[in-house]
Amino acid sequence: MPATGRRRYFRGVNESAMTNQDQTAAAPAAGRGATLRAQGLTKVYRTGEVEVHALRGLDFVLYESELVVLLGPSGSGKSTLLNILGGLDKPTAGHVYFRDTELTGYDERALTRYRREHVGFVFQFYNLIPSLTALENVALVTEIAPAPIAPAEALALVDLGDRLNHFPAQLSGGEQQRVAIARAIAKQPDILLCDEPTGALDSDTGILVLEAIERVNRELGTTTALITHNAVIAEMADRTLLFGDGLIVEERLNDAKRAPREISW
């Protein structure tokens, strides 16, 4: 596990905009591989007679150990993409690759294993088990993971080392979300997918949650994608992808990452 601070790959690179077709050319600095890659992703939801085109041939790359923010209006396809990347949903067409293997070729069993071993999810709502303590909520996941970190260590990483034996009802919303982050990262996933993790929190509490995500990304090197509709959060990212109507319409490289504490909204 790389404990040292990771390199800032985009230092000195100016902000640039590009079209969707150019995305695969968004090469990282030397030597960094893609953890996840999507090509020509289409997702059509059919409800009765109505078809919703949630993704329209989207291309996407998530490089190893980077922190990417996905921004865009409601309904632009952000959650759909994240769910497909995390193996929770399947595209109508297109391909997703996790490192060298094609995820879109997996059967249900392989997808379950992929989720269990490689992906950590954090959603807007914490989904903690009310009758279990913070420590027990995290331990539930580490018991079935092949190479977990200790639950207490995961909770210390999100600054909850002194709340191990609290039940969810005894924790604030921000603290519960940090337990959810500890639960997501305790199995040492390769990828952390966060869908509006601060959506239900006030600004001060949201910053503590973002600090926890940033610290996991920096100290464990966990490749992270973070959906938000709050544009200022992009300041903590290596890269920001702007969504519009089922496509990525712009990419911004951040040459001056800021700590969550320096961001306010």
- Report the C-alpha dihedral over residues 37, 18, 231, 195, rounded to 10 degrees: -10
**Which residues are CB-contacts of 201 (< 8 A; sequence separation ≥ 6)?**
173, 174, 177, 209
Using the minimum distance from each CB to ligand ADP, give the nearer residue, 13 or 44. 44
Based on the shown chain and the rule CB under 6 A, indicate whether residue 75 belongs to the binding site for ligand ADP.
Answer: yes
Q: Of 35-43, 73-81, 176-184, 251-259, which part binds Mg ion (CB under 5 A)?
A: 73-81
Which listed range, 20-28, 69-77, 163-171, 174-182, lies at the site for ligand ADP (CB under 6 A)?
A: 69-77
52 binding ligand ADP? (CB under 6 A)? yes
Q: How many CB atoms lie within 10 A of CB 10?
A: 20
- Near ligand ADP by CB under 6 A, which window of 21-29, 70-78, 99-107, 210-218? 70-78
Among 35, 80, 142, 228, binds ligand ADP (CB under 6 A): 80
Q: What angle do CA 40, 43, 49 make, to 5 degrees?
A: 140
From the list ligand ADP, Mg ion, none, pick the one residue 105 interacts with, judged by a Cβ distance below 5 to 8 Å according to partner type. none
Q: Does 76 bind ligand ADP (CB under 6 A)?
A: yes
Confirm or reject binding of residue 178 to ligand ADP (CB under 6 A): no
Contact call for residue 74 and ligand ADP (CB under 6 A): yes
CA–CA separation, 225 and 138 (whole Å):
21
Q: How far apart are CA 17 and CA 29, in angstroms?
A: 17
Q: Does 228 bind Mg ion (CB under 5 A)?
A: no
One-letter identity of residue 146: P
CB of 14 to Mg ion, least distance (A): 30
Q: Select the binding partner of residue 14 from Mg ion, ligand ADP, none (C-beta < 5 to 8 A, by kind).
A: none
Strand partners, 225: 68, 193
Judged by CB under 6 A, which stretch of 74-82, 116-124, 135-143, 250-258 contacts ligand ADP? 74-82
Spatial neighbors of 206 by CB under 8 A, at least 6 apart, are 174, 198, 265
Residue in 65, 76, 79, 254 binding Mg ion, rule: CB under 5 A? 79
From the list 77-85, 142-150, 151-159, 255-263, the region that binds ligand ADP by CB under 6 A is 77-85
Binding site for ligand ADP (CB under 6 A): 45, 47, 52, 54, 72, 74-80
Binding site for Mg ion (CB under 5 A): 79
